[in-house]
Amino acid sequence: MAAAARSGPQARKKKVPSKAPARSAKKAPPKTPVKAVCFVMSPFGGWYDRYHDEIYCEAIKAAGLTPRRADDLYRPTAIVQDIWDLVKEAKVMLADLTDKNPNVMYELGLAHALAKPVVLVAQAIGDVPFDLRAMRVIVYDVAAPDWASVLRDQIAKALEETLKNPGAALQPFRHEVRSANTSVRDDKNADLRQLQREVNLLRSEVSRGGRLRRPHKIEPDEAEAMIDVYVQRKMPLDMIIDRLLPLGPPEGWIRSNVSAARKRIFGSAASGEPDE
């Protein structure tokens, strides 16, 4: 009887508690790969800032790198320490040697002290210290047609080649050459002595060569004022470009600002001047 009772309806009412459905583990979003840094060494201000934004940064991004410049940092630390940290972090570097800017030469000395590969550009070979002329230098002429796009493509290609073979972009100094992926030696005193030798070498080049006299370069606000005058005179676009290119503005910037000035002065449909 007891066994029958246990097998009766009451026994069927007992339910085994069901297991709660297992929660599916949330998949973490895929991590965005961190791009290697390209440290840009160039003068600040005026057209150099436009070259940096419109040419150098675009070329660096096209090569799959992240552009950085010393003035990108806003930390309450010594600028020299920030530059040193950027040089150590960078996988490759880009240096514009135009006008033999002392700050650029100093940063370039740091790069050579750490055996970092550097792509060199300049507006004239005379801007390049004698000891560096054995290396590949991209020389650009702001008066040449489409110089900005040509320079952008040349820099991107040079960076890509340098990433594949960083040793080819290293200055063949007599000290030990280390690849960009080799860790810095623990002997800090030796690094500092080598750094001092490199900086002294570059300083001597600057003092021997002096600064080259160049045609007067205008600032962006001056160029915009000149464009307004030329547009009011209904000067053709090609003539405006011919007049402004030797003074520093990039051709693409001139075209864009001429178009904007025509719309502002004459109206979008009343200028009567096509954008050639």
pLDDT means per 10 residues, the chain with 276 residues, are 49 54 59 80 87 93 91 64 88 92 90 90 89 85 89 94 78 46 51 63 57 62 88 88 85 89 78 48
Quote the pLDDT of residue 138: 93
* 74, HSE (Cβ side, Cα atoms, 13 Å): 0
CA angle centred on 129, ends 217 and 52, rounded to 5°: 45
Amino acid 91: pLDDT: 93
Residues 274 and 261: their CA atoms lie apart, in Å, by 12
pLDDT at 243: 84
Q: How far apart are CA 4 and CA 48, in angstroms?
A: 97
Q: For CA atoms 45, 152, 123, 165, give the dihedral sign.
A: positive
What contacts 221, CB < 8 A, 6 or more positions away? none
In this structure, what token pair is assigned to residue 148?
Answer: 């900005």
Neighbours of 124 (CB within 10 A): 15
Structure pTM?
A: 0.56
- Two structure tokens written together for 98: 């135009």
* pLDDT for the residue 129: 86
Dihedral of alpha carbons 102, 103, 107, 113, sign: positive
H runs (alpha helix) in 7-101? 9-13, 47-51, 57-62, 79-89
Handedness of CA 137, 140, 146, 151 (dihedral sign): positive
In the chain, beta strands by DSSP E? 37-41, 66-69, 92-96, 118-122, 137-139
Q: What is the pLDDT of residue 136?
A: 86
Query: Rounded distance, CA 29 to CA 13, Å?
Result: 46
pLDDT given at position 217: 77
